[in-house]
Chains A and B, each alone.
Chain A
């Protein structure tokens, strides 16, 4: 079922890629699709809106992401719409396969759905000297709550709110363009929400910082790093911040491929979860 859905999504993406140019914003300025479905990098959202719609256009994106780390495998399907480069609406389904713990917990995977909106408040990532600023909201609903509940999570749904600022500095380093992005998020999510919301140790909103930076080698190759601070609400196990190093290839507005090495730290008692991350995105 999952494979069939993935294949049909890919077919949809390739048929859209065959269509006319998606929108007028410059190449790569729509970012790629994060694991939560919002436009950004891999783990960290950005102030940019998905796809390439400019102020008289609409567009969007679909994406598949896959991250096999040491004891878990994360899969994400996501889709988004962008209206006039003003508002982005997105949906994502995350599935975390419990490769190592599954048998002991009698649960194959953890799943959640994420419904998000992002509004561009001010600016432009390329042309405004103060960059682009956006406010985002992500409503997350667990589809599997037995495990999160058993380890002390208080709620099976939660809502993150974030303020993000992004700017591309043209010709900033060795004549190359640099992307800098930072955001503050208010969240109660445990491991992004896959382990529920709130916990025995802390059940209130916490402000966390996330940031990313990248260097454009040219208009289709970008490499960079991401950092995502996380709360630590559950007493049963430590929760660590996330890091990754990524390379993104944006051969056209229709297609992007992102590869990364992610370090998710300790997840549900299993330490040092590292692995590859691969994401493919089609824009329309």
Chain B
């Protein structure tokens, strides 16, 4: 811990380790990502904070789009073919509460699939910048 704190204080940035599994691999590649997204969607439709936002949505298509998107953003060989984030959420008036609820459902889905903490953090750091395009439009 002290080593980490010391590293923190002197602003140490770890070199990207080539031998480390890529995020895409750590998430279990496309099949693993598809399972995480499926588990997340099961949580969402059971989550009273956001379930009604997903009423009438084509869940199979959403599952495919989200899987492709996570696959793509994590460095995998997938193309995201859905609408851009801003356009897809305009008119939905997504609240901070709803956004937080979805992130929680994603984290719990990753935990259920034993995704290491580091990979979870890495994926969240890639998704977090979408917040501004998703909330409040």
- Known contacts: A215-B8, A224-B5, A225-B5. The answer to whether A170 contacts B104 by CB under 8 A is no
B118 adjacent to A26 (CB under 8 Å): no
Tell me how many residues of A have a C-beta within 8 Å of chain B.
30
Q: How far is the CA of A25 from the CA of B131 in the complex (A)?
A: 14
- B96 nearest in chain A by CB position: A55
**Shortest Cβ distance from residue B82 to the other chain A in the assembled complex, whole angstroms:** 21
Q: Give the contacts of B1-24 with A (CB-CB under 8 A).
A: 1, 4-5, 7-9, 12-14
From A55, A56, A57, A127, B128 is in contact (CB under 8 Å) with: A127
Q: B96 touching A85 by the CB < 8 A rule?
A: yes
Q: With A and B bound together, what is the CA distance between A223 and B14 in angstroms? A: 19
Cα of A128 to Cα of B133 in the assembled complex, Å = 12
Which residues of B have CB within 8 Å of A153?
none
Contact at B128–A126, with CB atoms within 8 Å? yes
A92–B83 Cα distance when bound, in Å, is 50
Smallest CB-CB separation from B7: which chain A residue? A173
A163-210 residues at the B interface, CB under 8 angstroms: 170-178
On whether the beta carbons of B121 and A176 are closer than 8 Å, the reply is: yes
Central interface residue in A24, A25, A55, A85, by most chain B CB within 10 Å: A24
B49: which A residues are within 8 A, CB to CB? 24
**Shortest Cβ distance from B12 into A: residue:** A173
Q: Which of B7, B100, B125, B132 contacts A54 (CB 8 A)?
A: B100
* B interface residues, Cβ below 8 angstroms from A: 1, 4-5, 7-9, 12-14, 49, 95-97, 99-101, 103-104, 107, 117-119, 121-122, 124-125, 128-129, 131-132
